[in-house]
Protein backbone atom coordinates (compact mmCIF):
# COMPACT_ATOMS: atom_id res chain seq x y z
CA UNK A 1 0.00 0.00 0.00
CA UNK A 2 1.44 3.37 -0.98
CA UNK A 3 0.47 6.99 -0.40
CA UNK A 4 1.95 10.22 -1.76
CA UNK A 5 2.71 12.79 0.92
CA UNK A 6 0.99 15.94 -0.33
CA UNK A 7 3.25 18.83 -1.37
CA UNK A 8 6.42 16.80 -0.84
CA UNK A 9 8.46 14.86 -3.42
CA UNK A 10 8.35 11.76 -1.28
CA UNK A 11 6.42 8.55 -1.35
CA UNK A 12 5.30 6.70 1.78
CA UNK A 13 5.40 2.92 1.66
CA UNK A 14 3.57 1.43 4.59
CA UNK A 15 4.08 -2.26 5.38
CA UNK A 16 0.65 -3.78 5.96
CA UNK A 17 1.56 -7.42 5.36
CA UNK A 18 -0.30 -9.64 7.76
CA UNK A 19 -2.79 -6.93 8.68
CA UNK A 20 -5.77 -9.00 7.51
CA UNK A 21 -4.95 -11.74 10.00
CA UNK A 22 -4.27 -9.12 12.65
CA UNK A 23 -7.64 -7.44 11.99
CA UNK A 24 -9.49 -10.72 12.51
CA UNK A 25 -7.66 -11.40 15.75
CA UNK A 26 -8.21 -7.86 17.05
CA UNK A 27 -11.92 -8.03 16.20
CA UNK A 28 -12.21 -11.33 18.07
CA UNK A 29 -10.52 -9.83 21.13
CA UNK A 30 -12.87 -6.85 20.99
CA UNK A 31 -15.91 -9.14 20.92
CA UNK A 32 -14.53 -11.21 23.80
CA UNK A 33 -13.89 -8.04 25.82
CA UNK A 34 -17.44 -6.85 25.23
CA UNK A 35 -18.89 -10.22 26.15
CA UNK A 36 -16.76 -10.78 29.27
CA UNK A 37 -15.12 -7.49 30.31
CA UNK A 38 -12.47 -7.53 33.07
CA UNK A 39 -13.63 -6.12 36.40
CA UNK A 40 -11.24 -3.19 36.57
CA UNK A 41 -10.65 -2.15 32.96
CA UNK A 42 -12.21 -1.64 29.55
CA UNK A 43 -10.87 -1.05 26.05
CA UNK A 44 -11.98 -0.43 22.50
CA UNK A 45 -11.06 1.20 19.19
CA UNK A 46 -10.54 4.92 18.79
CA UNK A 47 -13.02 6.07 16.14
CA UNK A 48 -13.05 3.26 13.57
CA UNK A 49 -9.35 2.40 13.66
CA UNK A 50 -9.13 -1.22 14.81
CA UNK A 51 -5.37 -0.92 15.21
CA UNK A 52 -5.62 1.98 17.67
CA UNK A 53 -7.40 1.42 20.98
CA UNK A 54 -7.86 3.33 24.17
CA UNK A 55 -8.15 1.50 27.47
CA UNK A 56 -9.42 2.67 30.85
CA UNK A 57 -7.95 1.18 34.02
CA UNK A 58 -9.46 1.76 37.44
CA UNK A 59 -6.86 2.15 40.16
CA UNK A 60 -6.78 -1.01 42.30
CA UNK A 61 -8.49 -0.45 45.67
CA UNK A 62 -5.55 -1.87 47.64
CA UNK A 63 -3.02 0.54 46.13
CA UNK A 64 -2.16 4.27 46.25
CA UNK A 65 -3.86 4.51 42.85
CA UNK A 66 -7.29 3.69 44.29
CA UNK A 67 -10.05 5.92 42.96
CA UNK A 68 -8.05 6.97 39.92
CA UNK A 69 -9.09 6.48 36.31
CA UNK A 70 -6.08 5.88 34.08
CA UNK A 71 -6.11 6.09 30.29
CA UNK A 72 -3.85 3.80 28.28
CA UNK A 73 -3.28 3.97 24.53
CA UNK A 74 -2.72 0.78 22.53
CA UNK A 75 -1.40 0.44 18.98
CA UNK A 76 -1.41 -3.01 17.40
CA UNK A 77 1.35 -3.90 14.91
CA UNK A 78 0.33 -5.34 11.51
CA UNK A 79 1.82 -8.72 12.49
CA UNK A 80 -0.18 -9.01 15.72
CA UNK A 81 -0.45 -11.40 17.59
CA UNK A 82 2.94 -12.75 16.55
CA UNK A 83 4.46 -9.53 17.82
CA UNK A 84 3.20 -7.77 20.94
CA UNK A 85 1.50 -4.37 20.85
CA UNK A 86 4.89 -2.89 21.57
CA UNK A 87 5.99 -1.03 18.44
CA UNK A 88 4.15 1.09 15.93
CA UNK A 89 4.09 -0.38 12.42
CA UNK A 90 7.12 0.17 10.24
CA UNK A 91 7.13 3.44 8.31
CA UNK A 92 9.73 4.22 5.67
CA UNK A 93 9.93 7.32 3.48
CA UNK A 94 11.53 7.24 0.03
CA UNK A 95 12.55 10.06 -2.28
CA UNK A 96 12.12 9.98 -6.06
CA UNK A 97 15.54 8.41 -6.49
CA UNK A 98 14.43 5.59 -4.20
CA UNK A 99 16.74 6.69 -1.43
CA UNK A 100 15.28 5.83 1.96
CA UNK A 101 14.50 8.70 4.30
CA UNK A 102 13.67 7.38 7.73
CA UNK A 103 10.97 8.78 9.97
CA UNK A 104 9.28 7.70 13.14
CA UNK A 105 5.52 7.08 13.31
CA UNK A 106 4.73 10.78 13.69
CA UNK A 107 6.49 11.73 10.42
CA UNK A 108 9.29 13.34 12.35
CA UNK A 109 12.87 12.16 11.99
CA UNK A 110 13.46 9.01 14.01
CA UNK A 111 15.33 9.46 17.26
CA UNK A 112 17.52 6.53 16.28
CA UNK A 113 20.97 7.41 14.97
CA UNK A 114 20.32 5.96 11.54
CA UNK A 115 20.09 9.09 9.42
CA UNK A 116 22.15 12.17 8.66
CA UNK A 117 20.81 15.51 7.54
CA UNK A 118 18.37 18.17 8.60
CA UNK A 119 14.68 18.79 9.13
CA UNK A 120 12.90 22.10 8.68
CA UNK A 121 9.32 23.02 9.52
CA UNK A 122 8.77 24.12 5.91
CA UNK A 123 9.22 20.53 4.84
CA UNK A 124 12.46 21.01 2.88
CA UNK A 125 14.22 17.76 3.61
CA UNK A 126 17.81 16.99 2.78
CA UNK A 127 18.58 13.69 4.41
CA UNK A 128 21.26 11.16 3.64
CA UNK A 129 20.82 7.80 5.33
CA UNK A 130 23.77 6.21 7.09
CA UNK A 131 22.23 2.77 6.65
CA UNK A 132 19.45 1.38 4.49
CA UNK A 133 17.79 -0.36 7.42
CA UNK A 134 15.99 2.21 9.50
CA UNK A 135 12.64 1.77 11.19
CA UNK A 136 10.74 4.24 13.35
CA UNK A 137 9.42 2.71 16.54
CA UNK A 138 7.47 3.94 19.55
CA UNK A 139 5.97 2.35 22.61
CA UNK A 140 2.45 1.34 21.71
CA UNK A 141 1.04 0.39 25.09
CA UNK A 142 1.47 3.51 27.16
CA UNK A 143 -0.25 5.48 29.88
CA UNK A 144 -1.73 8.79 28.80
CA UNK A 145 -2.43 9.62 32.44
CA UNK A 146 0.60 10.57 34.53
CA UNK A 147 1.51 7.86 37.05
CA UNK A 148 4.08 7.85 39.85
CA UNK A 149 5.42 4.31 39.57
CA UNK A 150 8.86 2.67 39.28
CA UNK A 151 7.87 0.75 36.14
CA UNK A 152 6.12 3.61 34.30
CA UNK A 153 8.10 6.61 33.10
CA UNK A 154 7.13 10.20 32.31
CA UNK A 155 6.29 9.27 28.71
CA UNK A 156 3.84 6.62 29.90
CA UNK A 157 6.06 3.73 28.79
CA UNK A 158 5.52 0.53 30.78
CA UNK A 159 8.18 -1.98 31.79
CA UNK A 160 6.28 -5.27 31.65
CA UNK A 161 7.82 -8.61 30.71
CA UNK A 162 4.84 -9.83 28.65
CA UNK A 163 5.26 -6.80 26.39
CA UNK A 164 8.85 -7.84 25.80
CA UNK A 165 10.55 -11.23 25.91
CA UNK A 166 7.65 -13.04 27.63
CA UNK A 167 5.12 -12.20 24.92
CA UNK A 168 3.17 -15.11 23.44
CA UNK A 169 0.54 -15.10 20.66
CA UNK A 170 -1.74 -16.84 23.17
CA UNK A 171 -1.84 -13.63 25.24
CA UNK A 172 -4.58 -11.06 24.70
CA UNK A 173 -5.06 -7.37 25.39
CA UNK A 174 -7.40 -8.35 28.21
CA UNK A 175 -4.54 -10.26 29.88
CA UNK A 176 -2.15 -7.38 29.23
CA UNK A 177 -4.51 -4.93 30.94
CA UNK A 178 -4.94 -7.26 33.91
CA UNK A 179 -1.15 -7.53 34.16
CA UNK A 180 -0.90 -3.74 34.19
CA UNK A 181 -3.47 -3.65 37.00
CA UNK A 182 -1.36 -6.17 38.92
CA UNK A 183 1.71 -4.01 38.32
CA UNK A 184 -0.07 -1.07 39.94
CA UNK A 185 -0.73 -3.22 42.99
CA UNK A 186 2.70 -4.87 43.08
CA UNK A 187 5.46 -2.80 41.45
CA UNK A 188 8.69 -4.48 40.38
CA UNK A 189 11.47 -2.23 41.72
CA UNK A 190 14.14 -4.69 40.53
CA UNK A 191 13.34 -3.94 36.86
CA UNK A 192 12.55 -0.22 36.97
CA UNK A 193 12.07 2.38 34.28
CA UNK A 194 12.51 5.10 36.90
CA UNK A 195 15.35 4.09 39.28
CA UNK A 196 14.71 7.02 41.62
CA UNK A 197 11.13 5.91 42.26
CA UNK A 198 12.28 2.30 42.64
CA UNK A 199 14.79 3.41 45.27
CA UNK A 200 12.08 5.32 47.12
CA UNK A 201 9.79 2.28 46.96
CA UNK A 202 12.50 0.13 48.55
CA UNK A 203 13.77 2.56 51.16
CA UNK A 204 10.81 4.80 52.07
CA UNK A 205 7.54 3.05 51.25
CA UNK A 206 5.44 5.62 53.11
CA UNK A 207 6.84 8.49 51.03
CA UNK A 208 6.33 6.49 47.84
CA UNK A 209 2.69 5.78 48.66
CA UNK A 210 2.03 9.37 49.69
CA UNK A 211 3.52 10.70 46.45
CA UNK A 212 1.73 8.13 44.29
CA UNK A 213 -1.56 8.95 46.00
CA UNK A 214 -0.98 12.66 45.46
CA UNK A 215 -0.33 12.13 41.75
CA UNK A 216 -3.43 9.97 41.49
CA UNK A 217 -5.56 12.73 43.01
CA UNK A 218 -3.96 15.37 40.78
CA UNK A 219 -3.93 13.56 37.43
CA UNK A 220 -6.38 10.65 37.59
CA UNK A 221 -9.37 12.04 39.45
CA UNK A 222 -11.64 14.42 37.55
Known catalytic residues are 159
User: Angle at the Cα of 95 (from 93 to 97), degrees rounded to 5?
Assistant: 135
Rounded Cα distance between 116 and 129, Å, is 6
Contact 151, 160 (CB under 8 A): yes
Rounded Cα distance between 72 and 77, Å, is 16
Alpha-carbon Rg for the chain in angstroms: 20
Starting at the earlier edge strand, list the strands of the sheet with 41-46.
41-46, 49-58, 69-75, 141-143
Question: What is the length of the chain?
Answer: 222
Rounded Cα distance between 41 and 174, Å, is 8
The DSSP letter of residue 162 is G
Reference 180, options 76, 28, 55, 32; nearest CA is 55
Amino acid sequence: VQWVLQNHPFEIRYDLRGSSMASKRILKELKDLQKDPPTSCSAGPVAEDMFHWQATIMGPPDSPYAGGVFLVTIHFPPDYPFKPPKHVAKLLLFDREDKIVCFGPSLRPSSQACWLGSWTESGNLGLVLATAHCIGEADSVAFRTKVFHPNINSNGSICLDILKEQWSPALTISKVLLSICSLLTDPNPDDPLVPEIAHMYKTDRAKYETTARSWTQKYAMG
